[in-house]
């Protein structure tokens, strides 16, 4: 694990690829002087599964189940994004009811992703209790989503032109009970964690990213909003029913670990608001457009679509020659760029802070590796 260099008084430490704090198979090559980091090289690609290559060798529908396997914590969001991208290219419009259902599910998925991050992050910092609470909350969401999607993590719920099946009463009851429960829990988390002195000492002023750095490294999502840039695709390039929803974009100004934590916690409250509004206004009607062919053939041309995933700007780019299989399928996954900034912000910090900084960025490795 340790490799001593002969010429200098420093040594290399391999953090990962199998280390519980790296949240998957991430490998950080750290050059250390004692406890202080001189250099950091993130090495990725351990879970590369050639999703883009698969996308170019399958029809649009056949590729649909792949989408939730890229980011296994935001699978429904990826489903949603892919369906919206292809629908836009083919000129398909999902029925109103389906658009609401998708939004509700995507926001629940965002909350579950943030909850898992919250629990795991606090565990990285040495607090065990929040983890148990967060997983209890998250389990509720997985049960609610499982009710209509039939899956726990790797959803294939959205379809081109709608969703696979309608909501049922269990789902409604589940969500209605969950919203007040999580609101109460978020209050508990504030008293348990947000004002906790140990937590503050571990995160305030640690891993500071300036707005200029964030732009230079193409950071997006909560990591960018923690630097004070109110950029959210749901507002900047609204899709689905977001234009009709009232919600705020939480931002902080410090750009440190604490602010990234704070932004995600505030986002959960906003997501609850969206779920509540969408469920209250859910229109009647079909959940699937009739007559969408199994083999979609988008007109020749190239298409870009942006989506706000729980981790930031998800971009889908594909080129069609008018056939059933895309010529090129590119996924701009947010964690890819979010992680790359580590080589800039880690040098100068201590090894113990590495875990706090890495955790605060909220990366999902399979999404980087694709």
Partner 1 sequence: MSFLEDIRPVLAQRFGSENLSDQERARCGYDLRLALDQERLLELAGLLKEAVCYLEYITAVDQGQVLDLLYFFGRHDQPPFRLQVRVAMPKGVAVPSLANLIRAADWQEREVYDMFGQRFAGHPDLRRILLPDDADFHPLLRDFKPGPQHGGEVVNLERK
By CB under 8 A, what part of segment 228-287 binds partner 1?
229, 231, 235-237
Torsion angles phi and psi, residue 218, rounded to 5: 55, 40
Distance (Å) of CA 205 to CA 33, 199, 201, 210, 305: 22, 12, 8, 12, 35
Q: Does 53 participate in binding partner 1 (rule CB under 8 A)? A: yes
Residue 22 and residue 343 in contact, taking contact as beta carbons nearer than 8 Å: no
Q: Which stretch binds partner 1 (CB under 8 A): 169-177, 201-209, 265-273, 313-321?
A: 313-321
Residue 279 and residue 175 in contact, taking contact as beta carbons nearer than 8 Å: yes
Angle between helical axes of 96-124 and 169-189 (0-180°, round to 10):
30
State the Cα–Cα distance between residues 109 and 64, nearest whole angstrom.
17
Q: Does 154 participate in binding partner 1 (rule CB under 8 A)? A: no
When binding is defined by CB under 8 A, the residue of 94, 122, 123, 224 that contacts partner 1 is 224
Shortest separation between residue 298's beta carbon and partner 1, angstroms: 10
Shortest separation between residue 332's beta carbon and partner 1, angstroms: 4
When binding is defined by CB under 8 A, the residue of 3, 48, 176, 181 that contacts partner 1 is 48
When binding is defined by CB under 8 A, the residue of 45, 150, 205, 285 that contacts partner 1 is 45
Shortest separation between residue 211's beta carbon and partner 1, angstroms: 9
Distance (Å) of CA 296 to CA 79, 155, 331: 16, 21, 19
What are the residues facing 13 on neighbouring strands?
A: 2, 30
How many C-beta atoms surround the C-beta of residue 173 within 10 A? 12
* Interface pattern 76-95 for partner 1 (x via CB under 8 A): ------------xx------
297 burial (CB, 10 Å; 0-12 / 13-18 / 19+) is middle
When binding is defined by CB under 8 A, the residue of 248, 300, 328, 352 that contacts partner 1 is 328
- Measured torsion, CA atoms of residues 109, 111, 116, 119, in degrees rounded to the nearest 10: -170
Residue 334 and residue 311 in contact, taking contact as beta carbons nearer than 8 Å: yes
Q: Which stretch binds partner 1 (CB under 8 A): 148-156, 272-280, 282-290, 322-330?
A: 322-330
Shortest separation between residue 272's beta carbon and partner 1, angstroms: 25
* Closer of 124 and 369 to partner 1 (Cβ): 369
Q: Does 223 participate in binding partner 1 (rule CB under 8 A)? A: no
Q: Does 61 participate in binding partner 1 (rule CB under 8 A)? A: no
State the Cα–Cα distance between residues 312 and 331, nearest whole angstrom.
13
* Closer of 23 and 313 to partner 1 (Cβ): 313
Q: Does 14 participate in binding partner 1 (rule CB under 8 A)? A: no
* Interface pattern 282-311 for partner 1 (x via CB under 8 A): -------------------xxxxxx-----
State the Cα–Cα distance between residues 51 and 324, nearest whole angstrom.
17
- Residue ranges binding partner 1 (CB under 8 A): 44-45, 48, 50, 52-53, 56-59, 62, 88-89, 215-218, 224, 229, 231, 235-237, 301-306, 313, 315, 317, 319, 323-325, 327-328, 330, 332, 336-337, 340-341, 344, 369-370
């Amino acid at each position: 694990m340790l490799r001593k260099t002969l010429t200098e008084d420093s040594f290399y430490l391999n953090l990962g690829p199998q280390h519980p704090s790296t949240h998957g198979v991430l490998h950080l090559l750290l050059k250390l002087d004692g406890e202080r980091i001189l250099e950091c090289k993130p090495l990725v690609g351990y879970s590369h599964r050639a999703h883009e290559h698969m996308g170019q060798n399958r029809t649009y529908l056949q590729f649909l189940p792949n989408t939730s396997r890229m980011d296994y914590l935001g699978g429904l969001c990826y489903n949603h994004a892919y369906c919206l991208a292809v629908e836009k290219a083919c000129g398909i419009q999902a029925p109103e009811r389906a658009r609401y259902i998708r939004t509700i599910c995507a926001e629940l998925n965002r909350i579950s992703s943030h909850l898992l991050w919250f629990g795991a992050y606090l565990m990285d910092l040495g607090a065990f209790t929040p983890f148990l609470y967060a997983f209890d909350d998250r389990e509720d969401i997985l049960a609610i989503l499982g009710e209509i999607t039939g899956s726990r993590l790797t959803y294939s719920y959205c379809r081109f032109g709608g969703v696979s099946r309608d909501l049922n009463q269990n789902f409604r009851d589940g969500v209605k009970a969950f919203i007040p429960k999580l609101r109460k829990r978020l209050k508990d988390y504030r008293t348990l964690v947000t004002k906790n002195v140990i937590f503050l000492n571990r995160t305030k002023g640690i891993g500071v990213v300036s707005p200029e750095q964030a732009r230079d490294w193409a950071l997006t999502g909560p990591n960018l909003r923690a630097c004070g840039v109110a950029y959210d695709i749901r507002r900047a390039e609204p899709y689905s029913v977001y234009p009709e929803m009232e919600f705020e974009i939480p931002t902080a100004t410090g750009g440190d670990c604490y602010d990234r934590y704070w932004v995600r916690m505030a986002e959960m409250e906003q997501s609850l608001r969206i779920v509540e509004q969408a469920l209250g206004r859910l229109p009647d009607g079909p959940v699937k457009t009739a007559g969408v062919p199994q083999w979609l053939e988008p007109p020749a041309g190239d298409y870009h679509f942006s989506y706000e995933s729980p981790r930031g700007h998800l971009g889908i780019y594909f080129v069609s020659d008018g056939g059933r299989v895309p010529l090129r399928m590119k996924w701009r996954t947010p964690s890819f760029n979010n992680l790359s900034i580590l080589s800039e912000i880690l040098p100068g910090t201590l090894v113990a802070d590495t875990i706090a900084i890495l955790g605060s960025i909220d990366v999902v490795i399979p999404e980087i590796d694709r």
